[in-house]
Amino acid sequence: MVFGRRSVCGTNDPLHLLDSHLAGLSGRAARSAADGSRRTTSPSEQEDRDAYSGIGRSIANQYAKRGARVCVVGRNFDKLAEVSAECWRLRDPNIQEIDITPVNQLKPNDPIIALEADFADAMQMDRVKSVLKMAWGGVDTVVVTAGVSSLMPLLEVAGVHSPGEEPTVEGVQRTLDVSNAALRGNFSGPLVSAVALIPLLESSSRSPAIALLSSVAAIVPAPTRSLYAATKGASLLLYQSLAIEHPRIQFTYIFPSTVEGDFRASAVDRGPVRESNPNKHGLKREYVARRCIESIDVKERNVFLPYLFGRVGHLLYWVAPSIVERFARKKYKFTAA
């Protein structure tokens, strides 16, 4: 998760907070690289697309490199320390190891903060909010990059592999357990972050913003991704509704297609990767991170990556759904029984 805040204490640097627990970012981010006027926060994913190694990490690094203040929040202490040290050095290449503030510690006017926290935990997010208020006086931008993957057809999660086969009670329960895990990473985390941080955004920022790193799967259905699509779609509709309820806040939604990296390695259903190697054919994480930051800077509402794939696929589904469904089966190498 990444949080950002307008500069305080007489500086012009934007402040940013990155949470790498589940896969999201939330914070006050600078609206533009030039004005240095915003603070950014981002809730990160579980272990899939997180601030430790995925898009969240790239966003934190890019903000730090351009002089922003960054706070990294996540559950893995060692990885938090890695990302925090990277951000310190990108912001100040001459910094000495002894001057890097350790994880879970805070010094006055620190430009980089690292906190252990779970962005789906209400008490822990309340603590993060308190640190933001104490350190920066508030937050300007929240960038939520949370997301956990699922890779199996839904009935296979329940242990059903052939026509006519019925699931056992244990299989149905396993499906429910996997669904709850997907909900925690893809919906509950963004929910808790929004409830905890929207009041702080509205009370402390002259130009508050929230960016949700969603997925094309949230707007175009795909086989083997039913739980992922459903939970990502739920968080998208949640934030779209919040945009109506809180018109002072600028909401941005990013819809990337397949992204390089090991996002699928820790799928909640432990299913196999079916599509072509994402590290060869997927979008580059640095590119997605850069577009996230740019979209916040210029107040874009919907960002499709790549544009034609996401936008055309979304519109085509409502006009000719069978074409999109046929393409989705091919992409994910899925054959219905």
CB 236 within 8 A of CB 218: yes
Angle between helices 77-91 and 55-65 (to 10 degrees): 30
The pLDDT value recorded for residue 123 is 96
The pLDDT value recorded for residue 37 is 40
The pLDDT value recorded for residue 309 is 82
CB 205 within 8 A of CB 6: yes
d(CA 118, CA 60): 18
**In terms of C-beta density within 10 A (0-12 exposed, 13-18 middle, 19 or more buried), how is residue 247 classed?**
exposed
The pLDDT value recorded for residue 258 is 87
d(CA 232, CA 12): 36
The pLDDT value recorded for residue 250 is 96
CB 30 within 8 A of CB 64: no
The pLDDT value recorded for residue 54 is 82
The pLDDT value recorded for residue 53 is 54
The pLDDT value recorded for residue 8 is 36
Q: Which CATH class is domain 2-331?
A: alpha beta
The pLDDT value recorded for residue 125 is 94
User: Along the chain (337 residues), what's the average pLDDT of each consecutive run of 10 residues?
Assistant: 53 34 32 40 41 78 88 83 92 88 84 88 94 86 83 94 94 96 94 95 92 94 93 97 97 93 77 76 92 95 89 90 93 85
What is this structure's pTM?
Answer: 0.84
**Per-domain boundaries in the chain:** 2-331
